[in-house]
Amino acid sequence: MAAACTRALCKVGGGILESAAARRSGTVSSYLPGSRRAFGSGGYRSKLLTSLRTGGGAGGRVLGCAVLLGGGLGLYQTVKFRLQQHLAEEETKVSGGVGGGGGGVKLTLYQYKTCPFCSKVRAFLDYHGLPYEVVEVNPQLNDSSVIISSLKTYLISRDKSVSDILRCYPEMKSVNDRGKEVTEYANKYWVMLGEGEAAALYPDKGAQKEERKWRQWADDWLVHLVSPNVYRTSGEALASFDYIVREGKFGTYEGFFAKYVGAAAMFLIAKRLKSRYQLQDDVRQDLYKAVNDWVAAIGKKRKFMGGDHPNLADLNVFGVLRVMEGLQAFDDMMDNTKVKGWYRRVERAALQHEGREQTEP
Protein backbone atom coordinates (compact mmCIF):
# COMPACT_ATOMS: atom_id res chain seq x y z
CA MET A 1 0.00 0.00 0.00
CA ALA A 2 1.46 3.29 -1.02
CA ALA A 3 2.75 5.32 1.89
CA ALA A 4 0.94 8.41 0.65
CA CYS A 5 -2.36 6.57 0.68
CA THR A 6 -1.71 5.31 4.18
CA ARG A 7 -0.89 8.73 5.55
CA ALA A 8 -3.93 10.25 3.90
CA LEU A 9 -6.18 7.59 5.36
CA CYS A 10 -4.69 8.14 8.80
CA LYS A 11 -5.55 11.82 8.56
CA VAL A 12 -9.12 11.33 7.45
CA GLY A 13 -9.96 8.04 9.15
CA GLY A 14 -11.39 9.58 12.30
CA GLY A 15 -13.45 12.06 10.35
CA ILE A 16 -14.86 9.39 8.09
CA LEU A 17 -16.01 7.38 11.05
CA GLU A 18 -17.98 10.41 12.16
CA SER A 19 -19.44 11.28 8.78
CA ALA A 20 -22.84 10.46 7.40
CA ALA A 21 -21.19 8.65 4.52
CA ALA A 22 -19.61 6.16 6.89
CA ARG A 23 -23.03 5.40 8.29
CA ARG A 24 -24.28 4.39 4.90
CA SER A 25 -23.41 1.16 3.10
CA GLY A 26 -21.13 2.99 0.66
CA THR A 27 -21.35 5.56 -2.14
CA VAL A 28 -20.10 5.27 -5.65
CA SER A 29 -18.70 8.14 -7.67
CA SER A 30 -18.84 6.51 -11.06
CA TYR A 31 -16.98 7.48 -14.17
CA LEU A 32 -20.27 7.03 -15.98
CA PRO A 33 -21.92 10.41 -16.54
CA GLY A 34 -24.16 11.25 -13.63
CA SER A 35 -24.08 7.76 -12.15
CA ARG A 36 -24.07 6.61 -8.52
CA ARG A 37 -23.79 3.16 -7.01
CA ALA A 38 -23.95 1.66 -3.54
CA PHE A 39 -22.44 -1.67 -2.64
CA GLY A 40 -24.14 -3.18 0.41
CA SER A 41 -21.52 -3.50 3.09
CA GLY A 42 -24.11 -3.98 5.75
CA GLY A 43 -25.47 -1.72 8.47
CA TYR A 44 -23.31 -3.46 11.03
CA ARG A 45 -20.23 -1.53 9.87
CA SER A 46 -20.96 1.79 11.56
CA LYS A 47 -22.14 0.04 14.72
CA LEU A 48 -18.97 -2.01 14.88
CA LEU A 49 -16.70 0.98 14.35
CA THR A 50 -18.53 2.99 16.94
CA SER A 51 -18.27 0.23 19.49
CA LEU A 52 -14.54 -0.27 18.87
CA ARG A 53 -13.55 3.35 18.87
CA THR A 54 -12.12 4.47 22.20
CA GLY A 55 -11.92 8.19 21.67
CA GLY A 56 -10.56 11.03 19.58
CA GLY A 57 -7.01 12.05 18.93
CA ALA A 58 -4.33 9.88 17.36
CA GLY A 59 -5.93 6.62 18.48
CA GLY A 60 -9.18 7.55 16.81
CA ARG A 61 -7.43 8.51 13.60
CA VAL A 62 -5.46 5.30 13.50
CA LEU A 63 -8.54 3.21 14.21
CA GLY A 64 -10.28 4.82 11.28
CA CYS A 65 -7.26 4.12 9.10
CA ALA A 66 -6.98 0.52 10.26
CA VAL A 67 -10.59 -0.30 9.54
CA LEU A 68 -10.47 1.41 6.15
CA LEU A 69 -7.33 -0.50 5.18
CA GLY A 70 -8.89 -3.84 5.98
CA GLY A 71 -12.14 -2.88 4.32
CA GLY A 72 -10.63 -3.37 0.88
CA LEU A 73 -11.11 -7.08 1.33
CA GLY A 74 -14.10 -7.21 3.63
CA LEU A 75 -16.46 -4.48 2.53
CA TYR A 76 -16.15 -4.74 -1.25
CA GLN A 77 -14.48 -1.38 -1.59
CA THR A 78 -13.58 -0.87 -5.19
CA VAL A 79 -12.35 1.42 -7.82
CA LYS A 80 -12.91 4.94 -9.05
CA PHE A 81 -11.84 4.98 -12.65
CA ARG A 82 -12.03 7.58 -15.34
CA LEU A 83 -10.92 8.37 -18.87
CA GLN A 84 -9.11 11.65 -18.28
CA GLN A 85 -9.84 12.97 -21.72
CA HIS A 86 -13.18 14.72 -21.68
CA LEU A 87 -15.79 12.63 -23.45
CA ALA A 88 -17.06 15.64 -25.39
CA GLU A 89 -13.59 16.14 -26.91
CA GLU A 90 -12.89 12.47 -27.43
CA GLU A 91 -13.67 12.35 -31.17
CA THR A 92 -10.98 14.90 -32.02
CA LYS A 93 -8.35 13.94 -29.48
CA VAL A 94 -8.33 10.17 -29.87
CA SER A 95 -7.32 8.67 -33.19
CA GLY A 96 -6.88 5.05 -34.15
CA GLY A 97 -8.65 3.51 -31.16
CA VAL A 98 -6.89 2.15 -28.08
CA GLY A 99 -4.81 -0.43 -29.91
CA GLY A 100 -1.04 -0.38 -29.82
CA GLY A 101 -0.74 0.44 -26.13
CA GLY A 102 -3.27 3.18 -25.63
CA GLY A 103 -3.62 5.19 -28.83
CA GLY A 104 -3.72 8.50 -26.92
CA VAL A 105 -6.25 7.53 -24.26
CA LYS A 106 -5.02 8.34 -20.77
CA LEU A 107 -6.26 5.96 -18.08
CA THR A 108 -6.07 6.59 -14.37
CA LEU A 109 -7.01 3.85 -11.91
CA TYR A 110 -8.12 5.21 -8.56
CA GLN A 111 -7.70 2.10 -6.49
CA TYR A 112 -7.49 0.51 -3.09
CA LYS A 113 -4.64 -2.00 -3.40
CA THR A 114 -6.15 -4.90 -1.47
CA CYS A 115 -9.60 -4.60 -3.05
CA PRO A 116 -10.60 -7.56 -5.25
CA PHE A 117 -12.68 -5.37 -7.56
CA CYS A 118 -9.72 -3.04 -8.19
CA SER A 119 -7.55 -6.08 -8.79
CA LYS A 120 -10.00 -7.31 -11.46
CA VAL A 121 -9.57 -4.06 -13.39
CA ARG A 122 -5.77 -4.13 -13.00
CA ALA A 123 -5.67 -7.68 -14.36
CA PHE A 124 -7.60 -6.55 -17.45
CA LEU A 125 -5.38 -3.51 -18.04
CA ASP A 126 -2.16 -5.45 -17.48
CA TYR A 127 -3.18 -8.26 -19.82
CA HIS A 128 -4.04 -5.87 -22.64
CA GLY A 129 -0.93 -3.79 -22.03
CA LEU A 130 -2.92 -0.60 -21.60
CA PRO A 131 -0.80 2.13 -19.99
CA TYR A 132 -2.36 3.54 -16.86
CA GLU A 133 -1.50 5.50 -13.77
CA VAL A 134 -2.42 4.28 -10.31
CA VAL A 135 -3.67 6.59 -7.61
CA GLU A 136 -4.18 5.07 -4.17
CA VAL A 137 -7.26 6.56 -2.55
CA ASN A 138 -9.53 6.12 0.40
CA PRO A 139 -12.37 3.74 -0.49
CA GLN A 140 -14.65 4.91 -3.32
CA LEU A 141 -17.00 2.42 -4.91
CA ASN A 142 -17.59 1.76 -8.58
CA ASP A 143 -18.77 -1.09 -10.72
CA SER A 144 -15.67 -2.88 -11.93
CA SER A 145 -17.67 -5.10 -14.30
CA VAL A 146 -19.04 -2.09 -16.19
CA ILE A 147 -15.54 -0.65 -16.43
CA ILE A 148 -14.18 -3.89 -17.90
CA SER A 149 -17.09 -4.47 -20.30
CA SER A 150 -17.02 -0.93 -21.66
CA LEU A 151 -13.24 -0.89 -22.11
CA LYS A 152 -13.26 -4.27 -23.84
CA THR A 153 -15.93 -2.96 -26.21
CA TYR A 154 -13.85 0.15 -26.87
CA LEU A 155 -10.73 -1.92 -27.60
CA ILE A 156 -12.53 -3.96 -30.27
CA SER A 157 -15.15 -1.62 -31.75
CA ARG A 158 -13.05 1.26 -32.99
CA ASP A 159 -16.00 2.76 -34.80
CA LYS A 160 -17.77 3.44 -31.48
CA SER A 161 -17.07 6.40 -29.25
CA VAL A 162 -16.74 6.02 -25.50
CA SER A 163 -19.89 8.08 -25.06
CA ASP A 164 -21.86 5.74 -27.28
CA ILE A 165 -20.53 2.69 -25.45
CA LEU A 166 -21.37 4.02 -22.01
CA ARG A 167 -24.96 4.55 -23.04
CA CYS A 168 -25.23 0.77 -23.44
CA TYR A 169 -24.94 0.37 -19.65
CA PRO A 170 -27.77 2.47 -18.18
CA GLU A 171 -28.14 2.63 -14.43
CA MET A 172 -31.18 1.15 -12.73
CA LYS A 173 -32.21 2.17 -9.23
CA SER A 174 -34.16 -0.10 -6.91
CA VAL A 175 -34.77 -0.78 -3.23
CA ASN A 176 -33.25 -3.94 -1.79
CA ASP A 177 -34.76 -6.26 0.80
CA ARG A 178 -33.32 -4.12 3.61
CA GLY A 179 -35.10 -1.04 2.35
CA LYS A 180 -32.00 0.67 0.94
CA GLU A 181 -31.79 2.21 -2.49
CA VAL A 182 -29.19 0.53 -4.69
CA THR A 183 -28.01 1.17 -8.22
CA GLU A 184 -27.26 -1.53 -10.75
CA TYR A 185 -26.21 -1.31 -14.38
CA ALA A 186 -27.97 -3.05 -17.22
CA ASN A 187 -25.89 -5.28 -19.50
CA LYS A 188 -22.88 -5.05 -17.17
CA TYR A 189 -21.45 -8.41 -18.27
CA TRP A 190 -22.02 -7.81 -21.99
CA VAL A 191 -19.32 -6.73 -24.43
CA MET A 192 -21.24 -4.69 -27.02
CA LEU A 193 -20.07 -5.97 -30.40
CA GLY A 194 -21.36 -6.30 -33.91
CA GLU A 195 -22.06 -9.73 -35.30
CA GLY A 196 -18.70 -10.05 -37.04
CA GLU A 197 -16.77 -8.77 -34.04
CA ALA A 198 -18.59 -11.15 -31.71
CA ALA A 199 -17.86 -14.10 -33.98
CA ALA A 200 -14.15 -13.24 -34.01
CA LEU A 201 -13.94 -12.80 -30.23
CA TYR A 202 -16.13 -15.80 -29.38
CA PRO A 203 -15.57 -18.39 -32.16
CA ASP A 204 -16.91 -21.29 -30.10
CA LYS A 205 -20.65 -21.67 -29.64
CA GLY A 206 -21.74 -20.68 -26.16
CA ALA A 207 -18.40 -19.03 -25.29
CA GLN A 208 -19.90 -15.58 -24.77
CA LYS A 209 -22.65 -16.91 -22.52
CA GLU A 210 -20.12 -18.95 -20.54
CA GLU A 211 -17.93 -15.90 -20.04
CA ARG A 212 -20.84 -13.82 -18.74
CA LYS A 213 -21.94 -16.61 -16.39
CA TRP A 214 -18.56 -16.93 -14.70
CA ARG A 215 -17.94 -13.19 -14.53
CA GLN A 216 -21.15 -12.86 -12.57
CA TRP A 217 -20.18 -15.85 -10.42
CA ALA A 218 -16.95 -14.09 -9.47
CA ASP A 219 -18.93 -11.03 -8.35
CA ASP A 220 -21.83 -12.80 -6.68
CA TRP A 221 -19.97 -15.59 -4.90
CA LEU A 222 -16.19 -15.82 -5.16
CA VAL A 223 -15.47 -12.31 -3.95
CA HIS A 224 -17.49 -12.93 -0.79
CA LEU A 225 -15.21 -15.81 0.18
CA VAL A 226 -12.12 -13.61 0.38
CA SER A 227 -12.65 -11.73 3.63
CA PRO A 228 -13.89 -14.68 5.73
CA ASN A 229 -10.80 -16.63 4.63
CA VAL A 230 -8.24 -13.88 5.00
CA TYR A 231 -9.53 -13.00 8.49
CA ARG A 232 -10.61 -16.55 9.39
CA THR A 233 -8.82 -16.66 12.76
CA SER A 234 -7.41 -14.00 15.03
CA GLY A 235 -3.92 -15.16 14.04
CA GLU A 236 -4.64 -14.80 10.33
CA ALA A 237 -6.23 -11.41 10.88
CA LEU A 238 -3.10 -10.24 12.71
CA ALA A 239 -0.87 -11.64 9.96
CA SER A 240 -2.94 -9.82 7.32
CA PHE A 241 -2.66 -6.50 9.11
CA ASP A 242 1.02 -7.09 9.81
CA TYR A 243 1.46 -7.22 6.03
CA ILE A 244 -0.65 -4.08 5.56
CA VAL A 245 1.34 -2.19 8.20
CA ARG A 246 4.65 -3.18 6.61
CA GLU A 247 3.46 -2.11 3.18
CA GLY A 248 2.09 1.16 4.54
CA LYS A 249 5.27 2.13 6.42
CA PHE A 250 3.46 3.06 9.59
CA GLY A 251 5.22 4.62 12.54
CA THR A 252 5.64 2.43 15.62
CA TYR A 253 2.66 3.84 17.52
CA GLU A 254 0.31 4.02 14.54
CA GLY A 255 1.39 0.61 13.30
CA PHE A 256 0.55 -0.96 16.63
CA PHE A 257 -3.00 0.38 16.60
CA ALA A 258 -3.51 -0.31 12.89
CA LYS A 259 -2.41 -3.91 13.32
CA TYR A 260 -4.23 -4.90 16.49
CA VAL A 261 -7.36 -2.75 16.37
CA GLY A 262 -7.81 -3.21 12.62
CA ALA A 263 -7.30 -6.97 12.87
CA ALA A 264 -9.88 -7.21 15.67
CA ALA A 265 -12.41 -5.21 13.66
CA MET A 266 -12.00 -7.27 10.51
CA PHE A 267 -12.03 -10.55 12.42
CA LEU A 268 -15.49 -9.65 13.74
CA ILE A 269 -16.69 -8.43 10.35
CA ALA A 270 -15.50 -11.66 8.72
CA LYS A 271 -17.65 -13.62 11.18
CA ARG A 272 -20.68 -11.57 10.19
CA LEU A 273 -19.99 -12.19 6.51
CA LYS A 274 -19.62 -15.90 7.18
CA SER A 275 -23.10 -15.93 8.67
CA ARG A 276 -24.61 -13.73 5.95
CA TYR A 277 -23.45 -15.99 3.14
CA GLN A 278 -24.07 -19.20 5.10
CA LEU A 279 -20.53 -20.47 4.83
CA GLN A 280 -19.28 -23.66 6.45
CA ASP A 281 -17.61 -23.61 9.87
CA ASP A 282 -14.33 -24.13 8.06
CA VAL A 283 -14.57 -21.42 5.43
CA ARG A 284 -11.54 -22.81 3.63
CA GLN A 285 -13.75 -25.62 2.36
CA ASP A 286 -16.03 -23.12 0.62
CA LEU A 287 -12.99 -21.48 -0.97
CA TYR A 288 -11.54 -24.81 -2.09
CA LYS A 289 -14.85 -25.93 -3.58
CA ALA A 290 -15.37 -22.65 -5.43
CA VAL A 291 -11.88 -22.70 -6.90
CA ASN A 292 -12.12 -26.34 -7.92
CA ASP A 293 -15.52 -25.70 -9.51
CA TRP A 294 -13.87 -23.00 -11.57
CA VAL A 295 -11.02 -25.26 -12.66
CA ALA A 296 -13.50 -28.04 -13.53
CA ALA A 297 -15.47 -25.61 -15.70
CA ILE A 298 -12.32 -24.85 -17.70
CA GLY A 299 -11.66 -28.56 -18.15
CA LYS A 300 -8.48 -30.41 -19.07
CA LYS A 301 -8.44 -29.49 -22.76
CA ARG A 302 -8.26 -25.72 -22.34
CA LYS A 303 -5.46 -23.56 -20.95
CA PHE A 304 -7.99 -20.90 -20.01
CA MET A 305 -11.73 -20.54 -20.08
CA GLY A 306 -11.06 -18.39 -23.12
CA GLY A 307 -9.21 -21.26 -24.81
CA ASP A 308 -5.64 -20.39 -25.78
CA HIS A 309 -5.95 -16.93 -24.27
CA PRO A 310 -7.59 -15.61 -21.07
CA ASN A 311 -11.06 -14.17 -21.53
CA LEU A 312 -12.78 -11.71 -19.21
CA ALA A 313 -13.90 -14.47 -16.86
CA ASP A 314 -10.30 -15.67 -16.50
CA LEU A 315 -9.10 -12.16 -15.71
CA ASN A 316 -11.94 -11.54 -13.25
CA VAL A 317 -11.37 -14.71 -11.25
CA PHE A 318 -7.61 -14.16 -11.27
CA GLY A 319 -8.06 -10.59 -10.08
CA VAL A 320 -10.21 -11.67 -7.13
CA LEU A 321 -7.84 -14.45 -6.03
CA ARG A 322 -4.73 -12.32 -6.44
CA VAL A 323 -5.56 -10.05 -3.50
CA MET A 324 -4.86 -12.96 -1.13
CA GLU A 325 -1.27 -13.41 -2.30
CA GLY A 326 1.23 -13.35 0.55
CA LEU A 327 -1.34 -14.58 3.07
CA GLN A 328 -2.04 -18.00 4.55
CA ALA A 329 -5.36 -18.31 2.75
CA PHE A 330 -3.60 -18.03 -0.62
CA ASP A 331 -0.96 -20.61 0.27
CA ASP A 332 -3.61 -23.03 1.51
CA MET A 333 -5.64 -22.54 -1.67
CA MET A 334 -2.63 -23.26 -3.87
CA ASP A 335 -1.72 -26.37 -1.87
CA ASN A 336 -5.21 -27.86 -1.57
CA THR A 337 -6.85 -27.15 -4.93
CA LYS A 338 -6.09 -27.67 -8.61
CA VAL A 339 -5.89 -23.97 -9.41
CA LYS A 340 -2.12 -23.44 -9.39
CA GLY A 341 -1.39 -24.24 -13.05
CA TRP A 342 -4.18 -22.02 -14.36
CA TYR A 343 -3.35 -19.21 -11.94
CA ARG A 344 0.30 -19.08 -12.98
CA ARG A 345 -0.65 -19.07 -16.67
CA VAL A 346 -2.94 -16.08 -16.24
CA GLU A 347 -0.38 -14.33 -14.06
CA ARG A 348 2.25 -14.76 -16.76
CA ALA A 349 -0.14 -13.57 -19.49
CA ALA A 350 -0.95 -10.43 -17.48
CA LEU A 351 2.68 -9.63 -16.64
CA GLN A 352 3.70 -10.03 -20.28
CA HIS A 353 0.73 -7.99 -21.56
CA GLU A 354 -0.21 -10.77 -23.95
CA GLY A 355 -3.62 -9.24 -24.62
CA ARG A 356 -1.98 -6.30 -26.35
CA GLU A 357 -1.51 -8.43 -29.48
CA GLN A 358 -5.28 -8.97 -29.72
CA THR A 359 -6.05 -5.24 -29.86
CA GLU A 360 -3.26 -3.89 -32.04
CA PRO A 361 -4.40 -2.72 -35.50
Catalytic residue among 65, 115, 154, 185: 115
Is 115 in the active site? yes
Backbone φ and ψ for 139, nearest 5 degrees, come out as -55, 125
Q: Which residues pair with 108 in a beta bridge?
A: 82, 133
Catalytic residue among 5, 10, 118, 168: 118
Rounded to whole angstroms, the Cα distance separating 327 from 241 reads: 10
Kind and range of the H or E element at 197?
helix 195-201
Question: Contact, 227 vs 117, CB < 8 A?
Answer: no
Rounded to whole angstroms, the Cα distance separating 43 from 51 reads: 13
| Helix, strand, or coil (residue 179) | coil
User: To the nearest 5 percent, what fractions of the chain are helix, strand and coil?
Assistant: 55, 10, 35
Question: Contact, 295 vs 338, CB < 8 A?
Answer: yes
Strands (E), 236-305: none
Closest CA to 264 of 82, 52, 56: 52
Catalytic residue among 39, 110, 117, 154: 117
Catalytic residue among 31, 76, 110, 112: 112
Q: Residue 248: CB partners within 8 Å, gap ≥ 6?
A: 1, 3, 5, 6, 69, 255, 258
Query: Which region holds residue 42: left if phi is over 0, alpha if psi is between -120 and 50, else beta?
Result: left
Is 117 in the active site? yes
Closest CA to 260 of 46, 70, 13: 70
Question: Contact, 40 vs 32, CB < 8 A?
Answer: no
Instruction: List, by residue number, the catalytic residues.
Output: 112, 115, 117-118
